[in-house]
Chains A and B, each alone.
Chain A
């Protein structure tokens, strides 16, 4: 069986009659086909008419009206053909239409969906020859004139086609769950086509296959238009918007190429002729997007010197460094940063441009040899962005039509709102809404992040990807142990690197450490805490002093690189009692340094740590104290954990993550599906 026609019917007997007549008359017997009509809860009159049809036409009655999606899915379930032909009951096929679509499908093995041309019976003009996206990603029918259609090739690739008449690969349709029943008589077909593209199928429009469509005959379409459009744009909006922009660029490029090809006037001055030939050669040599490096703007304006930003700084620096060195299509990275980071950003090679924003002025300076400050407009025209990467989520440079990849580290303001001041919770919530509406792709640091975004905001997992923060490489490759600096504790010590934010749970750690010391006595290990100094650190220092721990707990503040590496080399174990994390970079650094890890079993940490950590409940100081005692008192356990950590480390590779990010940046810039 080659084709199963699936026709959902909701009343309108006359249209259905015409449709079936056309089918029986026009579809040649050479094509093995069956006709399935799904009675979508119609009236008794329609039901009787359908029952009176010849037995060769299969009729499936549904008890209640389920809408176009539900009815079509039911028909697809009972179909047996290799292809499904989704057909509206107000469509009348013409001679050879179906045969042409089948021929196109046979010629193109990557065809998942084949559409055709639909002529409106009311106006005798083309109603549909493919679907394109306008006005920021909203789907509309492409409606060329009949003359243009005759001049066009037999088959073209389209972004989407309508399901009023189209061929769909049946096995893929069933596997993917069919049409999305969340839509009510609208947009299901575009959603299906975009899903097919995502799965790797191509979508073709057969220009020589024509059918006649009595449009606007089905009731109930406009009633749900707004709801359907909203649902569609929430899932696909930023993607189709980027697609629209790319198509515009392509056609602009083609227009330029065609204009350059022909001389404007019969007698051209030789200078103009030469210049025209040069431009033509340049355009011929660089087809759109293939050789030119893709310009990426990286907005780091929220990054501050030293450690106030936490783990995001080593992550971003690490990814940029790796991305510069990756082989393959180059990216032109433009970093936008505050001038205070001049020293830190010196690791970037000359191929990346860094644009400084001095604190007071509004214009952007470049570190190019020209060293002239550029105005914003000059800067944007010279380094026009093709994709914007926002490691802090939002950016002032976001604008419609520019693809954006946003990094959302965590949903702390939803998981633990008590850890943030109320203004920060509101600010983050606003930012998240803005990002969800405009980001082409959302980057998180682990699968856990994607789950949380889906849980709180209903963001579909296909809009997200994750890159592990594998930045342990900055610790170097453990050379011979350097001498123990005098600033480090004399005794073996636990190490907890964390800025002094409430969710880092320092109070529980200090209480647990005090309990551990009380139980173990003088044999107890010391504790070293690092983190960006602020008012809260002073409060914790006072707490530590009040608990009598001043001699054994040291607050080292923010360490420079050499001291930091020394700590990792000389520490006895990492203790990580944080209540909430986006990734937990110190765990991976501990695995790299060969340290045993005692970590809290909440948030993303089990995904990162796996079986390589001693887990505890961070809410209970007694549990933390017990684990501290266990790790400090058992060398065998420590050895075991360190070995497991080394094995676990193989999952985290910064060059892999950088390659993944580069892949997505490239795809966002060129509307491809990665």
Chain B
């Protein structure tokens, strides 16, 4: 079977959906290769046209084609318009295409598997830009008409989808799977001891949905209530309405409190950050999956997370939960974790066990099995 993989988002700085697309592609290749499947990677997909060619997931092998990796944006846009109009076939002519960048172009006669990361553009319209919303709702409309199967990254996302299209999946007999992500690193064997300077860590692009305001409020509260407050490290790239957050961090730093913005970190630096941190804070207003939680668990880090979206499902009770509306709760929990070493050790150990339950191999197997079932029908 020839499987088409959408890796268009991986060309930019990877976070969230882009990370998922890249990891899924690698895992699919690793799992499907022994069974003799072939792969086509699309670095320009539908309306997601990358300005600079040559970036993105790069996999080698005789069974892997990357026909659009070096294509310039203008011819790529023209090509996809022709594909949409039905004038040319899809390059590589796969049997199944897995679309993981929210775009659902016309891929007939191949079957389309549409990955839904979240429905934030409709459930929380304030946390998505107008541009994102226009694209997502248009493409979702196309996916409903075209997709043969759906993949939801979490049960919470599936419930959101169901709330907008009640009973639709069942009535129309569209198969679906829940296939979440996993940590990109191997789970550590044991928890390493943390120094007293080990910082609180927050990982996530600077945008309103990640709720940096809550953490900064909570941290100020916490720092005022303890003698030796741990520093706060904020990791995350891009930025949408980020100026106020940066300004606030500057003000707090000027007041003498240790808050550091580390920007976007690559693999090694991020793993080092996780390993040397004290705990992860995840105060998002909404998450489709929440990869940093699993990544923290895999490095033996306890997590304090919001009680919304997919976070309770992914952490399965291992993370300490607080409301994203109340920074006071977060400050209290941070103090508790600081003082109670037994609790810390317990959380770290159960976290390691929880991380072990997720693997990209399992996700890839689920998706591959779904693709195989489609190719048969």
Contact = CB atoms under 8 A, between A and B. Distances in A.
On chain A, which size bracket covers the interface?
Answer: 20 to 34
Identify whether the interface residues of A are mostly helix, strand, loop, or mixed: helix
Given A417-B131, A547-B144, 15 more contacts: A416-B130, A502-B134, A510-B141, A514-B168, A518-B166, A518-B167, A539-B142, A540-B141, A543-B145, A545-B145, A547-B168, A548-B168, A548-B171, A619-B133, A620-B122
A621 interface: yes
B130 to A, nearest CB: 6
A291 interface: no
B163 to A, nearest CB: 8
Given A515-B164, A518-B166, A546 B145 contact: yes
Given A418-B131, A418-B135, A548-B171, A511 B164 contact: yes
A548 B144 CA distance: 11
B172 interface: yes
B166 A539 contact: no
B193 interface: no
B177 to A, nearest CB: 20
Given A419-B134, A619-B122, A539 B165 contact: no
A542 interface: yes
B165 A511 contact: yes
B138 interface: yes
8 contacts: A418-B131, A418-B132, A418-B135, A511-B141, A539-B141, A545-B145, A547-B165, A579-B130
Contacts of B140: 507
B181 to A, nearest CB: 27
Contacts, number: 66
B165 A502 contact: no
Contacts of A622: 122, 163-164
A667 interface: no
B101 to A, nearest CB: 15
Interface of B: 85, 121-122, 125, 130-135, 137-138, 140-142, 144-146, 163-168, 171-172
A62 to B, nearest CB: 34
A620 B137 contact: no
A621 B166 CA distance: 13
A621 B164 contact: yes
A482 B296 CA distance: 70
Nearest to B77: A422
A621 B144 contact: no
Contacts of B131: 416-418
Contact of B166 (A515, A546, A619): A515
Contact of A514 (B122, B133, B142, B165): B165
Contact of B142 (A503, A543, A579): A543
A416 B134 contact: yes
Identify whether the interface residues of B are mostly helix, strand, loop, or mixed: helix
B109 to A, nearest CB: 16
A543 B130 contact: no
A535 B171 CA distance: 27
A304 interface: no
A378 to B, nearest CB: 43
B285 to A, nearest CB: 15
Contacts of B146: 542
Contacts of B138: 502, 507
A508 interface: yes
Contacts of B142: 539, 543
B279 to A, nearest CB: 35
A617 interface: yes
A542 B145 CA distance: 6
Contact of B130 (A418, A540, A546, A620): A418
B130 A621 contact: no
A508 B133 CA distance: 11
Nearest to A535: B85
7 pairs of A and B residues whose beta carbons are closest in the complex: A418-B131, A619-B125, A542-B145, A507-B141, A418-B134, A546-B145, A507-B137
Interface hub of B121, B130, B140 (most chain A Cβ within 10 A): B130
Contacts of A579: 130, 134
A522 to B, nearest CB: 15
Contacts of B167: 518
Nearest to A415: B130
Nearest to A508: B137
A546 B134 contact: no
Given A416-B130, A418-B130, A543 B144 contact: yes
B123 to A, nearest CB: 8
Nearest to B174: A546
B125 A617 contact: yes
Contacts of B122: 508, 511, 619-622
Contacts of B132: 418
B125 A620 contact: yes
Nearest to A540: B141
Contacts of B166: 515, 518
A503 B135 CA distance: 11
Interface hub of A503, A508, A510, A619 (most chain B Cβ within 10 A): A619
Contacts of B133: 619
Interface string A391-404: 00000000000000
A510 B166 CA distance: 13
B105 to A, nearest CB: 11
A534 to B, nearest CB: 12
Interface in A493-515: 502-503, 506-508, 510-511, 514-515
A619 B127 CA distance: 11
A417 B140 CA distance: 19
